[in-house]
Chains A and B, each alone.
Chain A
Amino acid sequence: MAARQETVARVEEIDVDAYKYGFTTDIESEKAPKGLSEDIVRFISAKKNEPDWLTEWRLEAYRRWLTMDEPNWARVKYPPIDYQDLYYYSAPKSTPGPKTLDEVDPELLRTYEKLGIPLREQEILAGVETRKVAVDAVFDSVSVATTFKDELARAGVIFCPISEAVKTHPELVRKYLGSVVPATDNFYATLNSAVFSDGSFVYVPKGVRCPMELSTYFRINEQKTGQFERTLIIADEGSYVSYLEGCTAPKRDENQLHAAVVELVALDDAEIKYSTVQNWYPGDSEGKGGIYNFVTKRGDCRGRNSHISWTQVETGSAITWKYPSCILRGDNSQGEFYSIAVSNGHQQVDSGSKMIHLGRNTRSRIVSKGISAGKSQNTYRGQVSAHRKAEGARNFTQCDSLLIGHECGAHTVPYIESKNPSAQFEHEATTSKISEDQLFYAQQRGLSAEEATALIVNGFVRDVLQQLPMEFAVEAQKLISISLEGSVG
C-alpha cells in the first residue's frame, strides 16, 4: 500500500549522537589474540574447560563456516567485514565465576548502574520492589553475575551461564544445543557455534511455573570485539517461563559485530515468552560506528499445545538482521511475534519473523510495527509456510509502518507458502506518515514537536508494548522516545 502523500515540510535534524549509553568501562580484560583459526576455537574452548565433545562441535562448525558465504539478500548495505581483524574472546579479568554480586568488580556494577538496569535489581535486593527479576549479566564474552540462583534452584529452575551449564548439566546441554538452530544453519549462526563465548541457559522442569521473570543484560565493551552469545532455553512439559534480554554497547567509531544465537524449546503444554529490548549503539549522525546485529533466534514448539511468543523492541544497532522464528511442530502449538523496530539516523533494519507450520491446527500471529525516521531504512521480512501435514494451520500477519520525515524508507516483504489447502493465512499491511496536520493539532494543544511525535508513536506501537512485561513496557516506551529524539523540528 502506498504511503499517504503527505510531506512533512520540516527538514529533519537528526541527533543520534545523543546515544545515552555510550560510555566505556575501564576494566582490565583478558583477550585471545586477534583473528580466527582452529587454534582460537580451541583456545576459547580450553579457557572454558569444555569437554571434548563441545570442542569438536565447535571445530566442526568452524570448518563448515570456512565453506560458507555471508548472506546478501537482506536490504542492508555495509562494507565487507574482515573477520580476521576481530577479537573472538574477551573476558573482564576479575571474573571467574562470582557467586554473589559482592564478588563482581564494582566498576562493572557501576556500568550496569549507568545503564539504568540494575536499579530495579538493586531495588529488588533492597526489598523495595515485590516483583522479582533474576538477572544474568553478560559483559563482552563472559557472564558476570546471576542473581536469585538459590531461589530458582528451590523451584527446580536452572538459570546460569551456559558455560556453567556445560559443566553442571552436560546431558541437557548436549541434548538440546544446536537442536533448534543447527551448527550448520547459516553463516552467522555457524560462526557463533564455533566461537560462542557465553550466554544464558535456562531449564524449567515439568509442570513448573518459573517463579520470577528471568532476564539477561548483554553489553559489548571491548574494542574490536565480536560478541557471540548463545542462549538456550528449555521449557519441559507443562512449564512456563518469561525471559527478557536487554542489550547496550558503548559508542565506538568502528563497527562492532554481534552474532548471537538463541534457541528455545517448548515441550508438550509448555510456554515460553521471550522479550528483547535491544538498544545497541546505532552509530553517529554520519552513520559512523554502531553495532552490526546479525542474530539467529528460533523457537521450536516441539510438543503438543506448546506456545512460544517473541516480543522485541529494537531501537539500536547500525544494522539489524534478525528474524525470530517459530517452528510449530507439535499439534495445536502456537507461535507469536510482536515487534517494534525503530530506526533513525542511518540505521538499517531488516527484521521480521518466520512461522513454519508443521503440525496440525497450529496457529501463529505476527504483529510488526516499524517506525522509520531520519535517513533510515526499515524492512519487514516475513515468511509463513504450511507443511503438507499442517492441517488447519492459521496465521494472521499485521505489518504497519510509520514514516517520520521524507528521507527514510519502509518496506514489507512477506513470503507466504502453503502446501496444505486447509491452511488459512491472512496478511494486512499499512504504511502511514505522521501527518503535519496531526503534529500541528497536538502542538496547538501544548505539546512540543518532539512530545507530539512521541505521543503519536506510542499510540502506534501500543498493542505491541502491551505484550511486554509491565515494568519493561515503561522502559521500552522511554527508549523509543529517546531514539526518535531529533527526528522532528
Chain B
Amino acid sequence: MLEIKNLHVSVGDREILKGLTLTVKDGEVAAIMGPNGTGKSTLSYVISGREGYEVTQGEVLLDGENILELEPHVRAAKGVFLAFQYPVEIPGVATMTFLKAAMNAQRRSRGEEELATPELMKRVKEAAAKLGVSQEMLRRPLNSGFSGGEKKRMDILQMTLLQPRFGILDETDSGLDIDALRVVSEGVNSLRAPNRSFLVITHYQRLLDYIKPDTVHVMAKGAIQRSGGPELALELEERGYQEYLGEEAA
C-alpha cells in the first residue's frame, strides 16, 4: 500500500505540490488525470527519489515505511518502478546489458542470489516476445534511436522483468499507435496482482478503456481535487478541467 500524506514539494522557491494526499491500496489501479503543468510528473519523481525536488512537508509511505529518505536505487529494490514520460537514451550500453545489470542490482540490494545469464536471457526473451520487442532491439544501445513508441514498450518490458510492488506509468500511452497501446495495456494488465498496485497518469480516457482503473483522481493546482470511480474519467473527457482550476482558468 502506498500512502501519500499532505505532500508539499518545491523546486527552487516555487511550490509545485501543495498538500497532496492520496492512498493506493494493494491490488488497486489508480488513475490520475490533470492539466499540463499541474505536477503529475513531479509527483512521480518525488515518489521515485529524483534529486532537485525539495519535500517541505508530508510523507510517502510504502507499506507503512517512509521512503523519502531512501536513495532511488533502494526504493527501486523495494519495488517502486517508474515508466517515464520521456524515457532516456543511454548510448553505448546494450539494452540486454542494461536489463541484466538492473535485474541483478535489485536482487543484490534485496539480498537475493543473482540470476545466471542463461536464466536471465530466457526471461528477457519471453517478456520481449509478448511485448513485441525484437531481438534486434535488445542488442542495440538502450533507447538509442528508438522511436517514441519503442521507448515506451521498453519501459514496460523493464517493468515486466522487475515485477515491482508499485508501478507508476507517466503518460505511457502518449506516442503509442493503436496496436502498441493494446500490447502495452495487455502487458500492464497481465501484471495486475493482489500485491501490486499502479498509479496511471494519463490525459486520455482511451487508455482507461484498456487498463481499467479502480479509482480516478483529478489533480490540479498541485493537489488532488476530486476522487471517484472510472465514470469520473468519462466526465472529465466531456467537461475538461475548468471547474477545478478556479480563477487560474480565466
Contact = CB atoms under 8 A, between A and B. Distances in A.
A436 B90 CA distance: 12
Among B72, B80, B88, B106, chain A packs the most CB atoms within 10 A around the CB of: B72
Contacts of A436: 51-52
A438 B158 contact: no
B88 A459 contact: no
B92 A445 contact: no
A440 to B, nearest CB: 5
A448 to B, nearest CB: 5
Interface string A446-462: 11110100011011111
Nearest to A402: B92
B45 to A, nearest CB: 8
B241 interface: no
Among B48, B50, B94, B158, chain A packs the most CB atoms within 10 A around the CB of: B50
A445 B87 contact: no
B84 interface: yes
Q: Is the interface of B mostly helix, strand, loop or mixed?
A: mixed
B53 to A, nearest CB: 11
Contacts, number: 85
A441 B87 contact: yes
Contacts of A462: 92
Among B77, B82, B88, B97, chain A packs the most CB atoms within 10 A around the CB of: B88
Interface string A418-462: 000000000000000001111011111111110100011011111
B73 interface: yes
Contacts of A447: 73, 101-102, 105
A79 to B, nearest CB: 38
Contacts of A458: 92-93
B73 to A, nearest CB: 5
A457 B101 CA distance: 14
25 contacts: A438-B88, A438-B90, A440-B72, A441-B88, A441-B90, A442-B98, A442-B102, A443-B71, A443-B73, A444-B50, A444-B80, A444-B82, A445-B76, A447-B73, A448-B73, A448-B105, A449-B71, A451-B73, A451-B105, A455-B98, A456-B90, A456-B92, A458-B93, A459-B91, A459-B94
Interface of B: 48-52, 71-73, 76-77, 80-82, 84, 87-94, 97-98, 101-103, 105-106, 109, 141, 158, 162
